[in-house]
Structure 1
Amino acid sequence: MTTPNYLLAVALAAAGWSNHETSRRLNSRAADRGHPGIAIDHTRVGRWIRRGELPRPPVPELLAELLTEQLRRPYTPEGLGIAPTRNVVVPLDDREYETLTLNAAAVNMPVKNYAQALLRRALSQIPSPNTVASKEV
């Protein structure tokens, strides 16, 4: 993948972490959790952001955990764009596509990334079927 990972970039900026700080925290957490073979450096973090490369497990989970603690709101590897993706095709009519492209341009994001962010946000507002089922019992 060669598309920048804006989701990760924004989350790391919100945490106030540089690539060096991110790698330091990840290495520390990995060692604490029994993963001594993990050795992330700042250049690797940069590739996750600039090129959209995906870190190997357990790094996505560890990073989501660290950001959740730092920013005090839930983060997931999928929400940070650092988990394998599944392609979904959503047909849009001309008006919908025009609205999407105008809004993406207004926030200086590629249309694909903007659409992904919108869909993720909408999905995060919907209770999971397991939660709904457990409340009904």
Structure 2
Amino acid sequence: MSTPNYPLALALATAGWNNSETARRINTRAEQEGHRSVAVDRSRVGRWIRRGEKPRPPVPEVLAALLTEHLGRLHSPQSLGIAPARSVRVTLEETEHQALAANATAVNMPVEDYARALLRSALAVQKGTQ
């Protein structure tokens, strides 16, 4: 299941850039920086927003820099939801997995998304107590 990328959509709307304009700006800047293999089009930008797909490097850094310059406030690939994903493998006991799956079903979420939300919540609580 794909999840829309609301932070990216909001930043592009604030900048006043549609998907075509965003692609054009990324391609121009990437070429100026010597990244000859970057070829973003409007449909790709749309998938980043609608499906939460992540662009390949160097695009996240290029787009974050463009938005930072245009909007006058810091944007990072992480804040835009376009940073490369990092994987963490967690081994669960069968009963733990069953409980996780049951809770995810109860809130109508895929197990992976539910587990990710739990980890983020736990990390936020831990960060708040330090």
Give distance in 1, aligned partners of 2:38 and 2:48.
16
Kindly indicate whether residue 69 of structure 2 is the aligned counterpart of residue 69 of structure 1.
Answer: yes
Give distance in 2, aligned partners of 1:59 and 1:86.
17
Paired residue type of 2:70: Q
Greater than 3 Å deviation, 4+ residue runs: 85-88
Find the counterpart in structure 1 of residue 29 from structure 2: 29
Where in structure 2 are the equivalents of 1:52-67 lying within 5 Å? 52-67=52-67
Where in structure 2 are the equivalents of 1:40-119 lying within 5 Å? 40-85=40-85
Query: Structure 1 length normalisation: TM-score?
Result: 0.62
Give distance in 2, aligned partners of 1:23 and 1:85.
22
Q: Cα deviations across residues 90-114 of structure 1 (Å, max 9, x unaligned)?
A: xxxxxxxxxxxxxxxxxxxxxx6xx
Paired residue type of 2:48: W
Kindly indicate whether residue 30 of structure 2 is the aligned counterpart of residue 4 of structure 1.
Answer: no
Find the counterpart in structure 1 of residue 104 from structure 2: none
Give aligned-pair identity as a percent. Answer: 62
- 8 A contact 2:56–2:84 mirrored in 1: no
Q: 3-state SS of the aligned residue for 1:52?
A: coil
Structure 2, unmatched stretches of 5+, are 89-116
- 1:23 Cα deviation from its structure 2 partner: 0.1
Give the structure with higher Rg (CA): 2
Find the counterpart in structure 2 of residue 92 from structure 1: none
- 1:84 Cα deviation from its structure 2 partner: 2.7
- 1:43 Cα deviation from its structure 2 partner: 0.1
Give distance in 2, aligned partners of 1:87 and 1:80.
19
Structure 1, unmatched stretches of 5+, are 89-111, 124-137
- 1:87 Cα deviation from its structure 2 partner: 8.0
Q: Cα deviations across residues 55-93 of structure 1 (Å, max 9, x unaligned)?
A: 0000000000000000000000000000134589xxxxx
